[in-house]
Amino acid sequence: MKKTVTLTFSDGSPSIELPIEQGTYGKPVIDIRTLGAHGYFTHDPGFTATSSCTSAITYIDGDEGLLCHRGYPIEELAYKSDFMEVSYLLLHGELPTADQKMAFEQSIRHHTLLHDQMENVFRGFRRSAHPMAVMIGVTGAMSAFYHDGMDNFNPKHREIVAHRLIAKVPTVAAWAFKFNEGQPFVYPQNRLSYAANFMHMMFSTPCEPYEPNPVLARALDRIFILHADHEQNASTSTVRLAGSSGANPYACIAGGMASLWGPLHGGANEAVLHMLDEMGDISRIPEFIARAKDKSSGFRLMGFGHRGDKNMDPGARIIRETGDEVLDELGRRDDPQFKIAMELERIAMDDEYFIERKLYPNVDFYSGIIFRAMGIPTSMFTAMFALARTAGWVAQWNEMLSDPAHKIGRPRQLYTGAACREFVPLDKRGA
Ligand code: CMC
């Protein structure tokens, strides 16, 4: 028998019975969709206890420290798969066969180049523009290049959009960096792997060719896997909400990037490095911990905590190990910032405040240290996150639109403003 819950009212109004749904895993959800007809809405700012959609892509059990994409644990994907395969998995629901993988990679390679006129879009920005501002602008501008003949309800069209975005966003990110640096844009080199191609576009110049280090390219590919999707976070929900109106998908992904940029979300990786720079020395860690615990300071330990993960995120654990590999490869174990980060992690993990609140270091805590060791500047960190998360965003957008019953997202509100009143003409208003 299906479980239900009954809402009873203290004023004796008739009670309401609501169905309870159980997914494959996770907490059961109370389906409140009929509540409106009874004259009530629910109130949950920040979506702390509200499921906004049905999804079969990613499952996170924060208490158990579990993260799975399409049923596959992240540990297996990170060590046994590659980013192209994971992108295919997120989009299609199954791991590809060898032929499917080859065809997918070929299609991604086919789309890496940007329309020649898009160079002009980059050149419209000021040189010092933050790479995320450029990425948001250029990705949004793609909607002007790929608008005609786009039918959101045609699965083939959606597939082309997904491939274009996964293929072009690394070019956009690398060019945002090149534009900052005042260096010429470097075209994609399709003989290279996805991660190695990105490194090539970032680091080669017309006068100095760059051969991507395979150990670093593999580590970067794994970091991309670890950032690929994290179910209904702020940026993914932004993409879904924007896309629910039938909006142009490139504009929707630009919206997701805008949401990701915030320091409480993907912008945290940049904020972590600024925090470590500001600390400067291990001796200052206690001062920063004390500030983070003092609510009136408005300061948080960046790279700690997560809405969904109340245990150490397995992705964070893997990225920490990947950091070890990268620093060993580069001979940078003695990096002072790395030492500060490790000591900060140790002290925070031993502190009652962080233990009680289950505030563990998250992926953003470690990624910045690795990116910096690889020669990627701090301002590019969130762009790296956006590049990888594009795979998750397009998969979630595609999933939503492939359900013919999907509705436009339209939250309700608890209005607390003025009651209706009469307009007062300007000459009758008090001083
Ligand atoms: N430093 C100090 N205190 C914290 C921190 C932190 N980083 N994070 C949470 N808290 C405290 C918070 O003050 C609150 O304390 P109390 O119960 O005494 O009022 C308690 O922990 C719960 O915090 P919350 O704000 O209700 O938790 P949330 O689920 O709404 O926020 C978060 C999650 C990620 C926004 C938050 O932990 C945070 O601001 N972390 C720092 C920024 C960060 O690293 N963000 C990256 C998130 S992971 C990757 C991604 O999704 O982009």
Tell me whether residue 38 is one of the annotated catalytic residues: no
Q: Which residues pair with 191 in a beta bridge?
A: none
Closest CA to 136 of 390, 312, 315, 377: 390
Neighbours of 12 (CB within 10 A): 7
Q: Cα separation of 241 and 256, whole Å? A: 10
CA-closest residue to ligand 1 atom 29: 307
What pLDDT score does 307 carry? Answer: 83
Classify domain 4-51 by CATH number: 2.20.28.60
Spell out the domain ranges in the chain.
4-51, 74-265+383-402, 268-374
Q: Which residues pair with 67 in a beta bridge?
A: 60
What are the pocket residues of ligand 1 if the criterion is a CB atom closer than 6 Å to any ligand atom? Answer: 230, 233, 264-266, 268, 292, 300-307, 357, 359, 362-364
Residue of 229, 306, 309, 313 with catalytic role? 306
Question: What order do you get walking across the sheet with 4-7 strand by strand?
Answer: 4-7, 16-21, 29-30
Within the chain, what is the greatest distance between any pair of CA atoms?
80
What pLDDT score does 147 carry? Answer: 76
Tell me whether residue 306 is one of the annotated catalytic residues: yes
Q: Cα separation of 81 and 95, whole Å? A: 10
The whole-chain average pLDDT of the chain stands at 95
* CATH superfamily label, 74-265+383-402: Citrate Synthase, domain 1 (1.10.580.10)
Q: Cα separation of 424 and 277, whole Å? A: 54
Per-residue pLDDT tens over the stretch 168-192: 999 999 999 999 999 999 999 999 9
Measure the CA angle with vertex 202, ends 138 and 181; round to 5°: 75
* For ligand 1, mutation pick of 60, 264, 354, 356 (most atoms within 8 Å of CB): 264
- Provide mean pLDDT across the span 34-54: 95
In the reported structure, the alpha carbon of residue 198 is separated from the centroid of ligand 1 by a whole-number distance in angstroms of: 32
CA-closest residue to ligand 1 atom 20: 357
What pLDDT score does 146 carry? Answer: 85
Closest CA to 312 of 287, 349, 272: 349
Q: Buried (b) or exposed (e) across 285-319, using 16+ Cβ within 10 A?
A: beebbeebeeeeeeebbbbbbbbebbebbbbbbbb
Q: Which pLDDT band, with edges at 50, 70 and 90, does 63 fall under?
A: confident
What pLDDT score does 1 carry? Answer: 81
What pLDDT score does 335 carry? Answer: 83
Please state whether beta strands 29-30 and 16-21 pair in parallel, antiparallel, or not at all (unpaired): antiparallel
Per-residue pLDDT tens over the stretch 315-366: 999 999 999 999 999 998 888 888 899 999 999 999 999 999 999 999 999 9
CA-closest residue to ligand 1 atom 3: 300
Q: Which pLDDT band, with edges at 50, 70 and 90, does 376 fall under?
A: very high
What pLDDT score does 333 carry? Answer: 84
Type and span of the H or E element at 170: helix 155-181
Classify domain 268-374 by CATH number: 1.10.230.10
Per-residue pLDDT tens over the stretch 199-220: 999 999 999 889 999 999 999 9
- Provide mean pLDDT across the span 118-139: 97
What pLDDT score does 337 carry? Answer: 85
Question: What order do you get walking across the sheet with 72-73 strand by strand?
Answer: 58-61, 66-69, 72-73
For the chain, percent of residues with pLDDT exceeding 90: 91
What pLDDT score does 308 carry? Answer: 72
Task: Identify residue 24 by its one-letter amino acid code.
Answer: T
Counting from 1 in the atom list of ligand 1, the atom nearest the Cα of 272 is 44
What pLDDT score does 281 carry? Answer: 93
Q: Please indicate whether residue 147 or residue 87 has the higher confidence score (pLDDT).
A: 87
Q: Cα separation of 289 and 269, whole Å? A: 18
The answer on pLDDT for 309 being more than 70 is: no
Q: Cα separation of 424 and 279, whole Å? A: 55
Tell me whether residue 364 is one of the annotated catalytic residues: yes
What pLDDT score does 168 carry? Answer: 98
Closest CA to 80 of 186, 207, 222: 222
CA-closest residue to ligand 1 atom 35: 264
